[in-house]
Amino acid sequence: MQIANPTSLTATALIALLLFGSACKKPEATKERHLAFATGVMQDVLPGLVKSLQVKVTSGGTAAAVPFCNEFAAQYGKAKLGVWSEKARTELGADSFLFRRISTRARNPKNTPSERQAQVLESWEKGNASPAYFEEAGKHYTMHPIKISQPLCLSCHGAADKIEKKTLASIRALYPADKATGYQLGDLRGAFVTETIYAAQ
């Protein structure tokens, strides 16, 4: 009969404790950490985008704001991404960080959700749209709902026959596959998504 070496037994117990201990605590803490970080990002990024849109609509009219939205969303997003990916590195220890807006009825096809993200959006349509967190293929995702929060949104995302003709023409020219009209005030429009990657995982 073989008698187990007490040192290796202790080591096994220690490894088990570490594994199970972290399995009990880690998921919730990981979820909270990513959701809290993403809330900070969203609260910094989205109001600035809406504010610039408001200024542009007021100064040049809605139609002129369509191409602006197209270019500005990309440029502004890039600048903010630089700041926040650095923060994700220092505050979360992340190796890669991204954020984007998605919708099941996207205007820009680049904003089409993944299958898993589409499932979350569908569940939000049916019930309470509370922020979501999940892991997929080693990446950590958060999703926060974006709603049609004000009449301004309707001037480009409302019923097609209520959108100013010039504006609609500009939307159709830039986005031939546009699906993002027909919304009403308060509707779920999509989500603000963050994606965090840790190389060491």
| Token representation of residue 70 | 């197209």
By rule CB under 6 A, what count of residues binds ligand HEC? 27
Contacts of ligand HEC in 151-180 (CB under 6 A): 152-153, 155-157, 180
Choice from 50, 81, 92, 197 touching ligand HEC (CB under 6 A): 50
User: Residues with Cβ < 8 Å from 45, sequence gap 6 or more?
Assistant: 77, 80, 84, 99, 192
Binding span for ligand HEC by CB under 6 A among 23-31, 33-41, 114-122, 143-151:
143-151
DSSP bridge partners of 132: 143
Instruction: Tell me whether residue 31 or residue 172 sits nearer to ligand HEC (CB atom).
Output: 172
The C-alpha angle with vertex 45 and arms to 158 and 163, in degrees rounded to 5, equals 15
Binding of residue 189 to ligand HEC (CB under 6 A): yes
Comparing CB distances to ligand HEC, the nearer of 42 and 106 is 106
Indicate the residue among 43 and 150 with the shorter CB distance to ligand HEC.
150
- The order of strands in the sheet holding 188-197 is 96-102, 188-197, 139-147, 132-136
Element (H, E) at 116: helix 115-126
CA distances for 170 relative to 49, 53, 69, 151, angstroms? 20, 16, 11, 19
Question: Least distance to ligand HEC from the beta carbon of 135, Å?
Answer: 24
Name residues contacting ligand HEC, limited to 66-105 (CB under 6 A). Answer: 66, 69-70, 73, 101, 103
Q: Is residue 142 involved in binding ligand HEC (CB under 6 A)? A: no
